[in-house]
Structure 1
Amino acid sequence: MKKRYLLGMGLMLLLGTQVQAQDEIIEKIIKEETENSQLKQIGHELMDGIGPRLVGTPQMKKAHDWAVEKYESWGIEARNEQWGEWKGWERGITHIDMIAPWTKSLAGQQLAWSPSSPEGGATGEVVVIPDVADEAAFEAWLPSVKGKYVMVSAPQVTGRPDYNWEEFATEESFAKMKEEKTESNRAWNERLQKTGKGRRELPAALEEAGALGIITSYWSQGFGANKIFSSYTKTVPTVDLSLEDYGLLFRLADGGESPTITLNAQSKDLGVVPTFNTIAEIKGTEKPDEYVMLSAHFDSWDGGTGATDNGTGTIMMMEVMRVLKKIYPNPKRTILVGHWGSEEQGLNGSRAFVEDHPEMMDKIQVLFNQDNGTGRVVNLSGQGFVDSYEYLGRWLTKVPRNITREIETNFPGNPGGGGSDYASFVAAGVPAFSLSSLNWSYFNYTWHTNLDTYDKIIFDDVQSNVILAAIMVYMASEEDDMVSRKVRVPIGRNGEPTEWPAMRSPTRKGGLDN
């Protein structure tokens, strides 16, 4: 009886010592990030110093090399892994000036992978796609665009977002505006359909007919915000104008006042360039061939500097690695971070990693991905892993309550089939989870827009996310065994069972048909 009692006391002392040591590590993680955060400096170097990270651009390669150098300065091993090739392109200046019927410099920029203007730019009249009777009438009109710039986007009924109307308009006025907007969009879509051309084919037909360039405006439903995506032209520039300046030109052209602009959009076609993922690791001591992963895509569109999509996810994961290397330098399992290339064109970097490293997939304990903006984490889904509630819930209890109190959980949830890079791993059966963030007007104001810049980062929220992720990674690394991978067949919207998402191969040669 005495021996059994002493054995029990010894076990309790051992467990108590382990818990105390664990809590000390967590306290040190919190203290380090609270008192010595490097987020602002890392963010400045990435967003301000390097800028946007469009796949295939020199800035993207510069960012990969900078990340490796930064990790190595913290004593963390890092490397760039090539996984494919992409159309190489470098953005230059964009100057757009209306010179008739009066003079005004216009706000706009060329779209990604846009061809260049002639040296010094070109001047021409601005015209609008006409409301023709049919495709034959459009073909008859086409030769008239030679030497002119053509507007191909719908005009906006209002430059005020809906929330601004809701705050100040009468109910009747707000309802009337929405009806006008619906009718305007319907009429414009009908006008485009009569040309017989799709959204990719129309710019090609216009440039073939001799147009000097294509003018678009993709308003993001927020003051001053436009989305900046791809050009579909091969020989003449495509530029996106602000809602305000696009509307001005459209009204003048539509009213027969023959507005004229000088456009100078310079860029460089760099041929075919390699594309990479940046991988960094802190080697495990007891189970070096098992992994806990951090994940964030490194690339961005280049309307702004990619601050919230996905600069914040990137600097968050880099800071987690820095903190863990300092506080927890000898993890039980290897801690990996993947900074993925070309997520924006279809999760290509992460899909390539999964496809190129099949031997690792069964050895990944868990993966945590962050992508959707600068806000604090407020949602965590189990992604269809039946037992995720047990281990994620247990690890979350170690995170300060002021960080977890707003997090809504959904267990076991359904597996994500796309959206961000965690889905590449979920498809391979890896327990991979999205740390989903508070909105902060993400979709209207910063997602793929010209306003996605450093000043939109909410560093207090990103700092909370660092503490959350660092503690979760630490707990996952210290877990005695690999967590359960048991999954539930996902349930569709009709309530019927569906299938687990299939693994998909990446596009390894991209943009080469533009």
Structure 2
Amino acid sequence: MKLINTLTYSTLLLSSIAIHAQEKLNPTVQNFVNEIETNSQLEKMSVELLDGIGPRLVGTPQMDQAGDWAIKTLKSWGIDARKEEYGTWKAWERGLTHVDMTYPRLKSIEATQLAWSPATKKAFTADVVAMPLFKTKAEFDAWLPKVKGKIVLITQNQRYGRSDYQYKEFGREELYKKVTETRKAEAEAWANSIKLTGYTNNTLPEVLEQNGAAAVAISNWTGIMGANRIFGAKTKKIPMLDISNEDYGLLYRLAESGTTPKLTVNAESKHNGTAKTFNIVGEIKGKEKPNEYIILSAHFDSWDGAQGATDNGTGTITMLETIRTIKKLYPNNKRTILICLWGSEEQGLNGSRAFVEDHPEIIKNTQAVFNQDNGTGRVVNINGSGFEKSYEYMTRWLAATPNSVRSEIKTDFPGMPSGGGSDHASFIAAGVPAFGLSSLHWGYFNYTWHTNKDTYDKIVFEEIQNNAILTATLTMMADQEKDLVNREKRALPTDKEGKTVEWPEVKSPQRNSENYLK
């Protein structure tokens, strides 16, 4: 069976290459296709980065290790690489987390310590209390003293633990309607209750901490079974945990019914002062116009609920595979080609904003930025980012790509400038033609984006190969332009209130974590 599978794969691969050859592609583009489809380094890089090092939360040892790995990898391909520091961040190191229910029965609880959470000095056992719905601020104030010494559940309990699509597929129409309407009503009731307390989901944990809570627990369920979003802790002295929807519901129901569950919590982590923040920059010097640039862009950091595989390991390996292929098969690049792997994108595009602020000479002479940051799917949309003449050059560049790569790509010219979301926005604000290579989502937003399920096995490497071929071809075509492309901005439309939309402003990065989340 193994031999048959190998032969079948080889046959399909050779067939794919033959189809590309029949298109009469530019010889260099054909070489890109052959290299990426027969000698891909994508899986090797992913094992080393995602399995070996893991998630890359800013300020953690893993982020430093990943930076060293990226530099070593780029240099192994003959590409100059460096670490560019731009600030500091709170340094934190995740440890093991054990949460066990010890009453009314024994059960290990699926829980994750949130990023930057305080640790427990030692394991402790405490009762669990569930925050109820409040009708008035006075009710909240009367309840608040009850949290002292307790582990407090502060997010809504989900009555229905199955995903909506299952109710729609298997349930009768009236059941699906009941479930969706009940979900909406209960979410609105919970949101109103939080509002009545006078606090928000971000400020409430610290209030509970100040009133003596032993720990705070949430369940940030995405609506997909098993997937929870993992962000940062909002407490300063006590641990803050995210608990799976299934176990959170168990604890909530027990607490609500009067059978007070007990949990034993041991959350290990270390606060290590501050750590330096940085971008990784790899460089292939231009042979004719070394002071003009093309930038391959992806953010390197991630949240640390899983491995940061599709956000943004996939963008990272796409750009690494692209520059590896360029270095090997396109030796006479006119312009300097940079690969920039950004730090602290998740905290507000800090790495790319710092680069724009610190390198005005590069920004002035950048031909194009190609950015990838939305999962594992093949690229299916490219927006002109609001540049009036983007149609003239981008359609020409896309025409050089293999038909199998471009056939599903929808374009929007001149499009609208992105004001945020990912790192190309930092360049658009500065007037640089920068393009988000937008991927088919493969369930990205509900399943893997910032969740505990963002792992290696969710990567579709065949799709990433497609994107590396696309990006390598676009890079070559942008490089071969005689002059820098036109940067004229489109006339922007009016909003719903009749006001003309303004071009995004250049924003300075947050170069330290002092005021983060305040």
User: Which residue number corresponds to residue 56 of structure 2?
Assistant: 53
Give the counterpart letter for 2:119 in structure 1.
Answer: S
* Percentage identity across paired residues of the two chains: 54
User: Which residue number corresponds to residue 224 of structure 1?
Assistant: 226
Q: Secondary structure at the match of 1:143?
A: helix
Matched, 1:98 2:101: yes
Equivalent residue for 2:423, pick from 421, 424, 427 = 421
**Aligned ranges for residues 53-132 of structure 1 at < 5 Å?**
53-119=56-122, 121-132=123-134
Q: Secondary structure at the match of 1:289?
A: strand
Residue 165 to residue 100, structure 1, CA distance change in 2 (3 Å): same
**Aligned ranges for residues 334-373 of structure 1 at < 5 Å?**
334-373=336-375
What is the count of residue pairs matched by the alignment? 493
User: Which residue number corresponds to residue 7 of structure 1?
Assistant: none
Equivalent residue for 1:286, pick from 263, 270, 288 = 288
Q: Secondary structure at the match of 2:467?
A: helix
Measure, in 2, the Cα distance between the counterparts of 1:124 and 1:512.
Answer: 32
Residue 433 to residue 513, structure 1, CA distance change in 2 (3 Å): closer
Instruction: Point out where structure 2 has 5 or more consecutive residues left out of the alignment.
Output: 1-23
Structure 1 position 205, deviation (Å):
1.5
Equivalent residue for 2:32, pick from 8, 29, 32 = 29
Structure 1 position 513, deviation (Å):
6.0
User: Which residue number corresponds to residue 504 of structure 1?
Assistant: 507
Show CA shifts across 1:450-472 (max 9, x none).
00000000000000000000011
Would you say the 8 A contact 1:489–1:500 is kept in 2? no
User: Which residue number corresponds to residue 390 of structure 1?
Assistant: 392
Structure 1 position 512, deviation (Å):
5.8
Matched, 1:42 2:45: yes
Matched, 1:158 2:160: yes
Would you say the 8 A contact 2:419–2:504 is kept in 1? yes
Instruction: Point out where structure 1 has 5 or more consecutive residues left out of the alignment.
Output: 1-20
Residue 513 to residue 376, structure 1, CA distance change in 2 (3 Å): closer
Structure 1 position 118, deviation (Å):
2.2
Would you say the 8 A contact 1:283–1:330 is kept in 2? no
Give the counterpart letter for 2:126 in structure 1.
Answer: G
Query: Which stretch shifts more, 419-428 or 180-189?
Result: 180-189
Show CA shifts across 1:74-131 (max 9, x none).
1000000001111110110111111111111111101111000122x11011001134
Show CA shifts across 1:115-153 (max 9, x none).
00122x110110011344533443333232222100000
Q: Secondary structure at the match of 2:507?
A: coil
Measure, in 1, the Cα distance between the counterparts of 2:438 and 2:49.
Answer: 22
Give the counterpart letter for 1:26 in structure 2.
Answer: V
Show CA shifts across 1:264-309 (max 9, x none).
1111001111100000010000000001111000000111100000
Would you say the 8 A contact 1:446–1:452 is kept in 2? yes
Matched, 1:147 2:162: no
Equivalent residue for 1:174, pick from 170, 173, 176 = 176
User: Which residue number corresponds to residue 462 of structure 1?
Assistant: 464
Would you say the 8 A contact 2:380–2:410 is kept in 1? yes
Would you say the 8 A contact 2:25–2:402 is kept in 1? no
Give the counterpart letter for 2:332 in structure 1.
Answer: N
User: Which residue number corresponds to residue 403 of structure 2?
Assistant: 401
User: Which residue number corresponds to residue 208 of structure 2?
Assistant: 206
Would you say the 8 A contact 1:97–1:261 is kept in 2? yes
Structure 1 position 491, deviation (Å):
1.9
Would you say the 8 A contact 1:415–1:490 is kept in 2? no
Would you say the 8 A contact 1:87–1:271 is kept in 2? yes
Equivalent residue for 1:258, pick from 257, 260, 264 = 260
Q: Secondary structure at the match of 2:346?
A: coil
Show CA shifts across 1:370-416 (max 9, x none).
00000000000101111111111111111100111000000001111
Measure, in 2, the Cα distance between the counterparts of 1:381 and 1:484.
Answer: 16
Would you say the 8 A contact 2:298–2:373 is kept in 1? yes
User: Which residue number corresponds to residue 445 of structure 1?
Assistant: 447
Measure, in 2, the Cα distance between the counterparts of 1:34 and 1:483.
Answer: 31
Would you say the 8 A contact 1:87–1:512 is kept in 2? no
TM-score by length of 2: 0.93
Structure 1 position 167, deviation (Å):
0.6
Q: C-alpha root-mean-square deviation of aligned residues, in Å?
A: 1.5
Structure 1 position 362, deviation (Å):
1.8
Q: Secondary structure at the match of 1:173?
A: helix
When Rg is computed on C-alpha atoms for both structures, the one with the higher figure is 1
Structure 1 position 338, deviation (Å):
0.7
Measure, in 1, the Cα distance between the counterparts of 2:509 and 2:516.
Answer: 16
Measure, in 2, the Cα distance between the counterparts of 1:293 and 1:254.
Answer: 55
Equivalent residue for 1:310, pick from 302, 309, 312 = 312
